[in-house]
Amino acid sequence: MNVYDFNVLDSQGNKVELKQYLGKVLLIVNTATGCGFTPQYEGLEKLYQELKPQGLEILDFPCNQFLNQAPGTNKEIVEFCQLNYGVTFKTFGKIAVNGKNADPLYVYLRKEKPLSEPVKGKGLIKKIFFGSKIEWNFTKFLIDKNGNVIKRFSPTVTPDQLIEDIKSLL
């Protein structure tokens, strides 16, 4: 089993088979439009523009599970990202990443790469989450061209800190 075995819904509710990304390096990110990490959209877009020609795809999964920081509709979220950050990478439909309603893709990602070290930071993020749960918005998973989960990055890791890891897989 790998990432390409999953189907997800796009922002309009259409089924998307992740096998269409076969041969690409993927960065899968759960996001929110009203989070302290939301400005990372700018860095993600910059990363995407720089590395898309070499085979990077960023898959954006809005999630409202963390203090209701992604309250809008799928359409509102897509518009927000495009208008405020010029996002051109794919934004999918809003999902749950933890709990009994977690999307199967995220159940798989969490199982493959549990959080192996405490989150750097303080407060709520550091105190509550450890183990396989997604700790907060903007947790990132790096997937190789064969659909294998290679690395998990905490929300505090910024897009510019991912360049070397991504380039090593391109």
Nearest partner of 139 among 77, 62, 56, judged by Cα: 62
Split into its structural domains, the chain has a count of 1
Nearest partner of 92 among 63, 61, 69, judged by Cα: 61
CATH number at residue 118: 3.40.30.10
End-to-end CA distance of the chain: 21
Successive 10-residue mean pLDDT values, the chain, 170 residues = 96 96 98 92 98 98 90 91 95 94 95 68 47 86 97 94 97
Contact 141, 23 (CB under 8 A): no
CA distance 98 to 109: 11
Q: For residue 95, what are its two tokens? A: 């999902």
**Residues designated as active site:** 35
Give me the domain span that covers residue 25.
Answer: 3-169
Q: Which residue has the tokens 């199982």?
A: 111
Beta-bridge partner residues of 60: 29, 91
Beta-bridge partner residues of 15: 9
Nearest partner of 57 among 19, 110, 93, 83, judged by Cα: 19
Note the pTM of the prediction, 2 decimals: 0.90
Give the pLDDT confidence score for residue 120 in this predicted structure. 52
Give the pLDDT confidence score for residue 129 in this predicted structure. 46
